[in-house]
Structure 1
Amino acid sequence: MKRSKGTVILVASSVDTIILKDGSTDRIGFYLNELTIPMQAVVAAGYEIVLATPKGNKPVLDRSSAIAAHFGNSEEALNKALEFVEKYPAMQNPVSLRSLVEGGLDEYIGVFVPGGHPPMVDLMQDPYLGAILGHFHTNAKPSAFLCHGPISIACSVRDAAAFRAAMVAGDTAAAKKASAGWQYAGYRMTVFSNDEEHYAEKNVFKDRLAPFYVADALTIAGGKLEFAEGGIFKPHAVVDRELITGQNPPTAPELARLFVKALDEISATVEV
């Protein structure tokens, strides 16, 4: 059997519901192509993955994302993605973020968080993910986030729960205070844009508003946000030091390429 080149932590949310601006709720889940395209590329490149969520439960798929349009209109690619989620061993055996932290993080070579709206709810304020990202930041290990996934890095602000509460309340001053001294302040990055969120509000949430905008949150915390030119849902990825971020679902193939490249670079320098 070929030896693994290292293990990547796939972090997903434990939630399946979001409270919108008006207090109503909607069902949410991870986007199929955002999880599977990068993770299939990681596995194909010779790495293992471990799936971790805050509660150690299986993450919920946003079924509306299970369409061939997100896979180059290939039904075969769509079916392979669904098979990956439903049958790949790591996807069937999630662990808790806490268990990873308590077991030690030195063995892990990379971390990845896909999008869909769930990271806005729990991951962005999870203390154990904060500990993981602190380790990866300190050790300059590849850390990749896609679409809404980049909001997860807010878990590493000084007071993540207060930061999220301030964003929901529209209290910019409180959000700045809660995020002072952020480890990613000054980093170039991208995330699902406000214009793309407006599209989601109209077409996904049926004219209801998101609780806050992830692009605004990362800007307030100190991120240097960059977006694709030429309209919404154009592929765009940004690499700054260990941080790799992608803007939206169409960016999944490019983020996969950049993440594997970064993993290969670091795996060549460490003993795994």
Structure 2
Amino acid sequence: MTKATILILGSNATQIELRGGGSATIGQYLNETVVPTLALIDAGYDVVLATPNGTKPIIDAVSETVDHFGGDQAAYDRARRFFADAPQMNDVQTLRAVIEGGLDRFAGVFVPGGHAPAVDLMQDADAGTILRHFHAAGKPTALLCHGPVAILAALPDAAAYRAALIAGDTARAAALGQDWIYAGYGMTVFSANEEKIAEAQLLGGELYFDMERALKTAGGEVSVTATNFAPNVVVDRELITGQNPSSDHQLATALVEALDRALATA
């Protein structure tokens, strides 16, 4: 018997726009998806994976490396097998289906990273409905690396907000970001400096906006490490955010601890 069920919000995005035209191939990161998920399962929780269109997320090829698992070949192999074969990673629902099935059945929500959430989840209306539910209920809401930009989906018009960021219209974005439910929350996300490295070494071009600015413009109190890619997790009320791929284990620990506390006081 499991302690409770946790909702995982996955992304279906496989391309992200680059400044000046063109796009880069993206997806979710393997370690960012599997490390927290396995930690939840190992701690006695069940998980349900849902995406905007109900198909399984695509793993970003650049994350398919043992380096993201601390050089631990066994951990990397376990992650690959789990994502490929586990029922929890293959029985995927749509975001709309989990809403219609009732969100009260979930004790918390987790959003993995990779660039993908910055394309679809951050402007998805159903993702916004889900996040507003967990915020109102004060249930643990954990997001990793680029995943924290998904909380912008809770804005009244998240698609317009993202469009304003792409257009470079900071004033319009700030206006659209008024009364965001996460304004004033402490949080972290893949840093602007880390993004410059990713743009040069992985994406082959410049993004229209960095994740720090996307969250700060709506009122997020964003903090990042002075050292690129150093682990960093920020917890503020129900919100748990991790900065980068190397924050996977720390975020998983913080999420499990928050869930266990919530169960103990229920």
Residue in 1 that maps onto 2:222: 225
CA contact under 8 A between 1:21 and 1:212: conserved in structure 2?
Answer: no
Question: Which range moved further: 242-251 or 21-30?
Answer: 21-30
Unaligned runs of 5+ in 2: none
Aligned-pair distance for 1:261? 0.3
Matching residue of 2:107: 109
What RMSD, in angstroms, separates the aligned Cα atoms of the two structures? Answer: 0.8
Provide Cα deviations, 1:169-205, integer angstroms capped at 9, x if missing partner: 1100110111110000000000000000000110011
CA contact (8 A) 2:15 2:25 kept: yes
Q: Following the alignment from structure 1 to structure 2, what is the Cα–Cα distance between the partners of residues 211 and 59? A: 23
Kept in 2, the 8 Å contact 1:17–1:118? The answer is: yes
| 8 A contact 2:187–2:220 mirrored in 1 | yes
Q: Is the 8 A contact 1:10 1:51 kept in 2?
A: yes
Q: Give aligned-pair identity as a percent.
A: 48
Counterpart pick for 1:198 among 196, 199, 208? 196
Per-residue deviation, 1:158: 2.1
1:214 alignment partner in structure 2: 211
- 1:172 aligns to what? 170
Map 1:1-272 → 2, pairs under 5 A: 3-206=1-204, 208-229=205-226, 231-270=227-266
Q: 53-62 or 19-28: which moved more?
A: 19-28
Q: Supply the distance in 2 between the matched residues of 1:73 and 1:30 (Cα, whole angstroms).
A: 20
Deviations 1:123-176 (A, max 9, x none): 001111111111100110000000000000000012101100000011001101
SS at the partner of 1:124? Answer: helix
TM-superposed deviation, 1:17:
1.1
The residue identity in structure 2 corresponding to 1:198 is K
Distance in 2 between residues matched to 1:26 and 1:137, nearest whole Å: 32
Q: Quick one: which amino acid aligns to residue 157 of structure 2?
A: D
Contact 2:25 2:203 in 1 (8 A): no
Further displaced range: 240-249 or 172-181 = 172-181
SS of the counterpart of 1:21? coil
In the alignment, residue 137 of structure 1 is paired with which amino acid?
A: H
> Structure 2 length as normaliser, TM-score?
0.98
Write the distance in 2 (CA, Å) between the matches of 1:84 and 1:21. Answer: 36
Assess if the C-alpha contact under 8 Å between 1:158 and 1:180 holds in 2: no
The separation in 1 between residues aligned to 2:61 and 2:77, in whole angstroms, is: 13
Cα deviation, residue 268, structure 1: 2.1
Whole-angstrom CA distance in 2 between matches of 1:59 and 1:254:
23
Deviations 1:86-112 (A, max 9, x none): 111110110000111111110100100
Unaligned 5+ segments in structure 1 are none
Pairwise CA distance, 1:211: 2.1
User: SS of 2:103's equivalent?
Assistant: coil
- TM-score, normalisation: structure 1: 0.96
Cα displacement (A) at 1:218 = 0.2
Q: Distance in 1 between matches of 2:208 and 2:111?
A: 20
After TM superposition, the runs of 4+ consecutive aligned structure 1 residues lying more than 4 A away are none
